[in-house]
Chain A
Amino acid sequence: GAVVSQHPSWVICKSGTSVKIECRSLDFQATTMFWYRQFPKQSLMLMATSNEGSKATYEQGVEKDKFLINHASLTLSTLTVTSAHPEDSSFYICSARPPLALTYEQYFGPGTRLTVT
């Protein structure tokens, strides 16, 4: 099956710094990638939809200036958490949809656990 990787798998940063998370589709090209956030014992919440070569579409309540998304190629999307604060500590997960996927079949990365101290 299609493989999506994320890097890093976990990161600890100090409050006020920025962190970049990479999402790669390893064996297929993804025109659309999605970024989710998951707090402990909660479900996944969609943050934004990332389209290659265009601006990301953010869900209501997600600050686009704080969570910068770049989808510069068909295999790479990045999420940068700027000026991170402890409340940004969460599990960040990306997903990608193969261009010929049936309906809503998506492939998810393994997630990145961000801890802001």
Chain B
Amino acid sequence: DAKTTQPNSMESNEEEPVHLPCNHSTISGTDYIHWYRQLPSQGPEYVIHGLTSNVNNRMASLAIAEDRKSSTLILHRATLRDAAVYYCILRDPIAYSGAGSYQLTFGKGTKLSVIP
């Protein structure tokens, strides 16, 4: 799997936008970019995913660089509930087959702290 690099930690003030970066310079043309987050003492939660175009959903936006070597998860207004570890994960659905093609490999992620 292509490697991702994320800052270990970030801080944000409550109700301000947060931009969480992820570098993936070795991304392949068929790698999807996924974001999950894990709140303290809970299982991870799916946030968003994309391939080439920017994506929006009710939780966040995903901005993907034109060369796809980096992406940014955008939380438009951070709340205290958004304090979590955010994981950026690449996966190529074509490279694997069967149940193994759906495995996720978690890196260290970015720990986001939200300041009231």
- Interface mask (A85-108 → B, CB under 8 Å = 1, otherwise 0): 000000101110100001111111
- Chain A residues lying within 8 Å of B45, measured Cβ to Cβ, are 108
Taking CB atoms and an 8 Å cut-off, the chain A residues in 34-55 that contact chain B are: 34, 36, 43-46, 49, 51
- Chain A residues lying within 8 Å of B38, measured Cβ to Cβ, are 44
- Chain A residues lying within 8 Å of B102, measured Cβ to Cβ, are 32, 34, 97, 104, 106
A108 vs B39: C-alpha distance in the bound complex, in angstroms? 12
**Does residue B97 face the partner (Cβ distance < 8 Å to A)?**
no
Do B42 and A110 touch across chains, with their CB atoms under 8 A apart? yes
> Nearest chain-B residue to A4 (Cβ)?
B43
> Nearest chain-A residue to B107 (Cβ)?
A43
A94 vs B109: C-alpha distance in the bound complex, in angstroms? 19
- Chain A residues lying within 8 Å of B89, measured Cβ to Cβ, are 104
> Nearest chain-B residue to A42 (Cβ)?
B108
Q: A34-B103, A44-B106 are in contact. Are A103 and B32 (CB under 8 A)?
A: yes
Do B99 and A49 touch across chains, with their CB atoms under 8 A apart? yes
A interface SS class? strand
**Does residue B29 face the partner (Cβ distance < 8 Å to A)?**
no
A4 vs B103: C-alpha distance in the bound complex, in angstroms? 17
- B103 CB contact (under 8 Å) in A49, A108, A113: A49
Considering residues A32, A103, A105, which has the most beta carbons from chain B within 10 angstroms of its beta carbon?
A103
Do B93 and A103 touch across chains, with their CB atoms under 8 A apart? yes
A102 vs B55: C-alpha distance in the bound complex, in angstroms? 14
**Nearest CB of B to A52, in Å:** 10
Q: A34-B103, A46-B104, A106-B104 are in contact. List 19 more A-B contacts (CB 8 A).
A: A32-B102, A36-B106, A43-B108, A43-B109, A49-B100, A93-B44, A97-B102, A102-B49, A103-B93, A104-B32, A104-B49, A104-B102, A104-B104, A105-B34, A105-B49, A108-B45, A109-B43, A111-B41, A111-B42
Can you name 25 A-B residue pairings with CB atoms under 8 Å? A4-B43, A34-B102, A34-B103, A36-B106, A43-B107, A43-B108, A44-B106, A45-B106, A91-B41, A93-B43, A94-B43, A95-B44, A95-B104, A97-B102, A102-B49, A104-B34, A105-B34, A105-B46, A105-B49, A106-B104, A108-B43, A109-B43, A111-B41, A111-B42, A113-B41
